[in-house]
Amino acid sequence: MHQPCLMRAFALLLLTAAIVLLTATIAGAQFKSTATLVIAPTTITDSRGSYIDALEPADLVLYDNGVRQPIQVDEAFNAVSLVVAVQTSANSAAILDKLGTSGILFTDLLAGDRGETALVTFSDEVRSLRDFTTNSDNLSAGLRSLHVQGTGAVALEAVMQSLAMLARRKSDRRRILLVIAEKRDRSSKVKFPVVLQEAQRQNVLIYWLTYSPFLQPFTAGPKKVKSRDPTKDGEPLPPDMAPGNLLSVFSELAHQGKPDNSVQLTRATGGRAIGFTKKEALEEAIQAIASEVHRQYIVSFTPPPGKPGEYHALRIEVKGHGDLTARTRAGYWAMP
């Protein structure tokens, strides 16, 4: 073979080897970037309920089905993408009045520095009222516009739409969903396991602020007479105790037998459910969640091999500190 031919053959061999090496490198990089991670936001408190900061990663021990796992621990410094989902059915009217001035609490306190907040409402259907924004005035305007929009409460559909919105955010952001609604679903068609699996797949942290639809009307300001007669205009009306309202009491009692979405979703994802009746309690609950979110330890690990659909219980302890309590998500289902 002539020398030029030998040189061309050698160059082709080098090119082929380089392509093989590059393909292997890319495949390896793709494999690493798509590796499944379980993220377990963890809140550490002492016996008085005060948050504990400045623990070292070596201080935390995580057990997956009772087996200790190697973990990575980060402080909660990543920017937050927050969706606030509000029930706007007829039995939520008193709640909507309480939310009008809460915009700054969501954007500046809960979402925090570099955070973004979106607003979703739901009753008979789900509506996206505000896309992600950093502007508290924009969100506040959306909250002030809230009004009754039906009698249903498709809470699980609202959670699913909120998860879809969060899925489109950058992968390095912390994803948080805050639902403000009654505990139990009224009219959703989507199945609970589907919702839970999607929340798990995205590692979304869910909080739920709950209220009693029966008690809420009694916490609202009294309705007043609207009259051209100045002696009557503005007079408070007595509470509406019509037969329809009395019948609603029995309807609410029957509704209590349904599963409690607020407890199931928050425990499974690492958040918590907080009940409230008055506006002051609502604002205190939002502030409490904000304090917790920004003082968590973000624990992550690669799950051990397991059967798809198998449930894994999680537990976290603080080594050498039996007086400290570590709260994280209750567990996860192995993904296919």
Q: Residue-wise pLDDT tens for the chain (336 aa)?
A: 444 444 444 444 444 444 333 333 333 333 233 347 899 999 999 999 999 988 999 999 999 999 999 999 987 678 999 999 999 998 888 889 889 889 999 999 999 989 999 999 999 999 999 999 999 999 999 999 999 999 899 999 999 999 999 999 998 899 999 999 998 888 899 999 899 989 988 899 999 999 876 554 444 444 455 556 666 555 654 444 433 343 344 344 444 556 788 999 999 999 999 999 889 999 999 999 999 999 999 999 999 887 888 889 999 999 999 899 999 999 888 877
For residue 106, what pLDDT is reported? 95
- Measure CA 162 to chain center: 9
How far apart CA 22 and CA 211 sit, in angstroms, is: 57
For residue 217, what pLDDT is reported? 47
Task: Tell me how long the chain is.
Answer: 336
Common-topology check for domains 36-76+296-333 and 80-293: no
Token pair of 41, please?
């936001």
Do the beta carbons of residue 291 and residue 308 sit within 8 Å?
no
Query: What type of residue is 335?
Result: M
Beta-carbon neighbour count of residue 221 at 10 Å? 8
Phi, psi of 332 (to 5 degrees): -155, 160
Strands 205-210 and 273-275: parallel
Token pair of 212, please?
């009693």
Long-range contacts of 164-171 (CB under 8 A, 24+ apart): 165/83, 165/118, 165/120, 165/128, 165/132, 166/81, 166/83, 166/202, 166/204, 167/202, 169/81, 169/116, 169/132, 170/81
How far apart CA 263 and CA 286 sit, in angstroms, is: 17
For residue 199, what pLDDT is reported? 92
How far apart CA 235 and CA 84 sit, in angstroms, is: 35
For residue 79, what pLDDT is reported? 92
**Nearest alpha carbon to residue 173 among 108, 99, 77, 98:** 77
DSSP class of 252: H
How far apart CA 307 and CA 314 sit, in angstroms, is: 16
Do the beta carbons of residue 289 and residue 266 sit within 8 Å?
no
For residue 66, what pLDDT is reported? 95
Burial of 309 (0-12, 13-18, 19+ CB in 10 A): exposed
Query: What type of residue is 270?
Result: G
**Nearest alpha carbon to residue 175 among 153, 209, 192, 198:** 198
CATH class held by domain 80-293: alpha beta
Which residues lie below 8 Å from residue 131, measured CB to CB, with a gap of 6+? Answer: 118
For residue 227, what pLDDT is reported? 55
The answer to whether domain 36-76+296-333 has CATH 2.60.40 is yes
Tell me the pTM: 0.77
How far apart CA 186 and CA 153 sit, in angstroms, is: 5
- Measure CA 144 to chain center: 22
How far apart CA 231 and CA 81 sit, in angstroms, is: 51
Do the beta carbons of residue 277 and residue 53 sit within 8 Å?
no
For residue 119, what pLDDT is reported? 98
DSSP class of 157: H
Q: Where are the domains of the chain?
A: 36-76+296-333, 80-293
For residue 76, what pLDDT is reported? 66
**Nearest alpha carbon to residue 63 among 333, 320, 312, 322:** 312
